[in-house]
Amino acid sequence: MPIVVADNLTKEQVNAYRLADNKVGELADWDEDLLDQELDDILDIDMSEFGFDLNEEIEKEERTPDALTNDFMVPPFSVLDTRQGNWQDRKREWLDLGIKSELGRKGDLTFAKSINIEGSSGTSVFDPVLTEIIYKWFIPYANANIYDPFAGGSVRGIVAATLGHHYTGIDLRKEQIDANYQNAKEIGTNIDLINWYVDDSQNADKYVKDNTQDLIIACPPYLDLEVYSDDPKDLSTMSDDEFDNIYQKILQNAVKKLKNNRFAVVIVSDVRGKGKNSGYRDLTGMTKRAFIDSGCCFYNDIILLNAIGSAAVRARRYMKSRKVARVHQNVLVFYKGDITKIKDEFDEIHGLNDALENVDISSDNLSSL
């Protein structure tokens, strides 16, 4: 009988072969926990060809209505749809707390309105539901440390504190930081959990130690799409080359602040360059390169669908130049460390607690609305 010696198999192939061989015999029962672990580690081999129905158990779990929504707030797919009713309902619950992230900015700012919510002044407010999802999916435990190098308005800090996390954000403009603290106090947020600093994020070493943060969250200026100030250190006022250089330095320094085996999430979009002959500036590509060059893995690529809004009006004008109206943003997720340790560092998600159940939204707290 011929014998084939397979001595050049990868670890993954060895595991797959061992499981397939045992499947043929089926002489004993499986250790289900160990089997699940082995199957989870086999990513590039289709084990269904050997009789393992990887969808069977999942289908059983998901036969109950809204199972994914109950566990994850929204289904954890590569497309997040902010237009859905449950997303809009949750957004209203957050805004009913009294979040006014547009404070501290002039009323004519239009930065990334598709990714944010338009405030009463016309200025954008970062989406608190997206913030909550990021924190609940990509932070390993309660009382974690979050660093935000492009703090902007109050939303990401208020949501972090409401969920019981420590948040550190840096922004160049004192009026923005003052407004953030004012809004957080109006709501009754635990200010002890928030540190907003007035400074250039290139100076983050003064405020955040290396290897101390459990999550990096960032929503950078989209080049000059919205100009926040006339400060030469403001990224939104810089030339393209200056922006590229400083932006990547800030992100690479942020990676140093991140603990090992932790995530970084950047919410970004491509914008067109200056001049009549300019195409997209590839801000998403620039972001990916900054993290990958810093040793991170590009782990999840999520599309955030936004309300059509004024895009329906702009689309006809844009199409004269064959440009399509952009109604989505990119949520780029990076991982620093050993991917195989994610299941050890992050517990399986089952039924997220409602962080707003115990928040006081009495008339006293909302008197300023």
pLDDT, tens only, 168-183 = 999 999 999 999 999 9
263 in a structural domain = yes
Q: What is the mean pLDDT of residues 27-39?
A: 63
Mean pLDDT within 79-95: 95
Residue 222 lies in a domain: yes
Q: Which two tokens stand for residue 138?
A: 């990509």
Same domain, 129 and 235: yes
249-263 confidence digits (pLDDT tens): 999 999 999 999 999
State residue 242's pLDDT score.
83
pLDDT at 117: 45
**How much is the average pLDDT of 207-236?**
74
SS3 (DSSP) at 124: strand
Q: Is residue 367 domain-resident?
A: no
Integer Cα distance of 353 and 199 in angstroms: 35
Residue 53, classed as helix, strand or coil, is coil
In this structure, which amino acid lies at residue 178? D
> Which token pair is 233?
């250190």
Contacts 24+ apart (CB under 8 A), 358-361: 359/97, 359/162, 359/188, 360/188, 361/96, 361/97, 361/98
| Residue range 94-114: mean pLDDT, rounded | 61
For tokens 């008339």, the residue is: 363
Residues 224 and 315 in one domain: yes
Q: Domain ends where: 40, 61, 82?
A: 61
Pairwise pLDDT comparison (85 vs 221), residue with the higher score: 85
Residues 29, 100, single domain; the answer is: no
Task: Count the domains in the chain.
Answer: 2
Average pLDDT for the chain? 81
Asked whether residue 57 carries a pLDDT value surpassing 60, the answer given is: no
How confident is residue 241, by pLDDT bands cut at 50, 70 and 90? Answer: confident
Single out the residue of 347, 358, 288, 336 nearest to residue 137, CA to CA: 347
* For the chain, percent of residues with pLDDT exceeding 90: 53
- CA within 13 Å, CB half, 172: 17
Q: Based on the fold, state whether residues 98 and 210 are members of the same structural domain.
A: yes
pLDDT score of 298 more than 90: yes
Q: From 343, 269, 367, select the one nearest 41 (Cα to Cα).
A: 343
Is residue 115 domain-resident?
yes
Q: Are 29 and 171 in a shared domain? A: no
Q: Which domain holds residue 96?
A: 73-345
Question: Quick check: helix, strand or coil at residue 304?
Answer: strand
Nearby residues of 360 by Cβ (< 8 Å), 6 or more positions away: 188
48 pLDDT tier (thresholds 50, 70, 90):
low
Which string of DSSP letters, residue by residue, matches 178-232? HHHHHHHHHHT--GGGEEEEES-GGGGGGT--TT-EEEEEE----TTSS---S-T
242 belongs to a structural domain: yes
For the purposes of burial, counting CB atoms within 10 Å of the CB of 354, is it exposed (0-12), middle (13-18) or buried (19 or more)?
Answer: exposed
Query: Considering the domain boundaries, does residue 52 fall inside one?
Result: yes
The pTM (predicted TM-score) of the whole model is: 0.78
User: Mean pLDDT lowest for which of 68-72, 124-128, 193-197?
Assistant: 124-128
- Mark whether 231 and 263 lie in a shared domain: yes
User: Are 264 and 199 found together in one domain?
Assistant: yes
Domain co-membership, 97 together with 234: yes
Q: Is residue 4 part of a domain?
A: no
User: Distance (Å, rounded) from C-alpha 297 to C-alpha 212?
Assistant: 19
More confident residue, 253 or 310: 253
Of 55-59, 196-200, 313-317, least confident by mean pLDDT is: 55-59
CB 134, CB 144: distance < 8 Å: no
Both 40 and 143 in a single domain? no
Q: What is the CATH number of the domain that holds 78?
A: 3.40.50.150
pLDDT tens by residue, 149-168: 999 999 999 999 999 999 99
Same domain? For 27 and 114 the reply is no
Same domain, 25 and 174: no
- The Cα–Cα gap between 169 and 175 comes to 14
> What is residue 2's predicted lDDT score, i.e. its pLDDT?
59
